[in-house]
Structure 1
């Protein structure tokens, strides 16, 4: 019986050693996997968790907003396989208006990840993001961003008379300027919300630049999330009965008028060539 007990004890100890070694190897493997995860994979994983139950009008809680922002803030063009000397960032001599390259990394019903590549002087005209929370990370370059939110308590659509008699009355809506500034990478990620933060914005490339966008949820014509383009006019351009803004504040407001997609706006699709996103 004594010998049997000694043998049993030795087997138990050996089993514990093997189990601990296995756990240690598993932990090391897990740590290696985490270290090897690309930034774009980390972005996908974070968005997948944050927007798991998302939809039109969904705004992630502040802690989740910060999770996505933190990942984007640390990303550069190298993390998505871009180089500044790529043809996407050069204006062709045959292009009257610089062509903008659109690279889709991932899209599902609740979020999308994409890159816009703009040559110098490239413009993404003023447009909206209905029911969306949007993160925009300037990966490199210098860009002017102008954005608006609808003015609170202003009429939804108003036929305004023009202060210039040579201009026909137009259906316009009052908006408040949210951002009107130049940005140079590296800079903080911009975030806009369904009704705040500059839901309608315009990008103008001052130098060749690239913008990484996360939209939650993405545009969807069947679900009524259309991309609408706008013209913007100074507040002094039109007059609306009963609507006044103090003179010292007027530069902070503008009239927006819906328009068709500009005919000279060209988006050229390109395949994503950066680190692979493992979708699950």
Structure 2
């Protein structure tokens, strides 16, 4: 009888432990699910505070920039309902760069939040962000980023240096491959790599916060550029600090590149509640 009682006691303890484990696991899942919408809502509320007094060319304070950057650094794909096996990230083997998918989360006159989903080898060509402060958070995957800032006339004016063909001189700010998780990048209206190009080394997703967003009617249209090596216009060479490889001539494209396909898709992650 003693053996049977001991066995029964053990079975009861094991059953209680199992139920306790299930309960703890359920609570963890509930806590995780609850944290997902909170993360997106916190992002929205942080942006709303930081860009409240914003506008074209107005940069948030250094403390606010660091506050938003630090919060974005904590975001994971699950926080926005993303996983790498979604159809947005499949390269279907079509000619030319595969299409990019944009998931719209929120937009107002002060800022916008959205996610670019890039299959492997997809490219967002070199383009600018007029008057904007932009935060780019790589959620997963690997991406090559190349960015430029304009070089102003050395005589002290704010005029760009132009070649005889009309291309403007720019200096490389970033030319590197980034792999998630990595620090959120920030670019500013005139510094930090205001013109950049994204190339997906692997399938990847990048969350962008733009303050303020593009607006053609207010003069913030997106301009795309062709890139030429500094040596392409030898007659227009000037004295430069650094190596010539650090510079390039950028020429405005008359329209969006023909091989760029950006498709909109429904964002199905946690929604923003704008109270």
- Give the TM-score, by structure 2 length: 0.82
Q: Which moved more, 1:40-49 or 1:151-160?
A: 151-160
- What secondary structure does 2:243 align onto? helix
Q: Which moved more, 1:101-110 or 1:257-266?
A: 257-266
Provide the rounded CA distance (Å) in 1 between the counterparts of 2:96 and 2:75. Answer: 32
Deviation at 1:261? 0.9
Alignment match, 2:51: 51
Q: Is the 8 A contact 1:102 1:268 kept in 2?
A: yes
Alignment match, 1:123: 123
Provide the rounded CA distance (Å) in 1 between the counterparts of 2:138 and 2:185. Answer: 9
Alignment match, 2:207: 212
Q: Deviations over 1:3-37 (max 9, x none)?
A: xxxxxxxxxxxxxxxxxxxxxxxxxxxxx9xx856
Rg larger in 1 or in 2? 1
Alignment match, 1:105: 105
Deviation at 1:206? 0.2
Aligned residues: 237
Provide the rounded CA distance (Å) in 2 between the counterparts of 1:202 and 1:100. Answer: 13
Provide the rounded CA distance (Å) in 1 between the counterparts of 2:74 and 2:134. Answer: 17
Q: Is the 8 A contact 2:152 2:160 kept in 1?
A: no
Alignment match, 2:19: none
Q: Structure 1: where are the runs of 5+ without partners?
A: 1-31, 161-169
Alignment match, 1:255: 249
Provide the rounded CA distance (Å) in 2 between the counterparts of 1:43 and 1:172. Answer: 38
Which structure 2 residues correspond to residues 105-254 of structure 1 after superposition, within 5 A?
A: 105-153=105-153, 156=160, 158-160=162-164, 170-241=165-236, 243-245=238-240, 249-254=243-248
- In the TM superposition, structure 1's runs of 4+ consecutive aligned residues that sit over 4 Å from their partners are none
Q: Is the 8 A contact 1:89 1:209 kept in 2?
A: yes
Deviation at 1:239? 2.6
Q: Is the 8 A contact 1:111 1:218 kept in 2?
A: yes
Q: Is the 8 A contact 2:226 2:250 kept in 1?
A: yes
Alignment match, 1:19: none
Provide the rounded CA distance (Å) in 1 between the counterparts of 2:65 and 2:237. Answer: 39
Q: Which moved more, 1:212-221 or 1:254-263?
A: 254-263
Provide the rounded CA distance (Å) in 2 between the counterparts of 1:138 and 1:131. Answer: 22
- What secondary structure does 1:226 align onto? coil
- What secondary structure does 1:222 align onto? helix
Q: Is the 8 A contact 2:152 2:161 kept in 1?
A: no
Deviation at 1:138? 0.3
CA RMSD, 1 decimal: 1.7
Q: Deviations over 1:149-191 (max 9, x none)?
A: 001326536343xxxxxxxxx2210001000001000000000
Q: Which residue of 264, 267, 270 maps to 1:269?
A: 264
Q: Is the 8 A contact 1:158 1:240 kept in 2?
A: no
Deviation at 1:242? 6.8
- What secondary structure does 2:217 align onto? coil
Q: Is the 8 A contact 2:167 2:251 kept in 1?
A: yes
Q: Is the 8 A contact 2:230 2:244 kept in 1?
A: yes
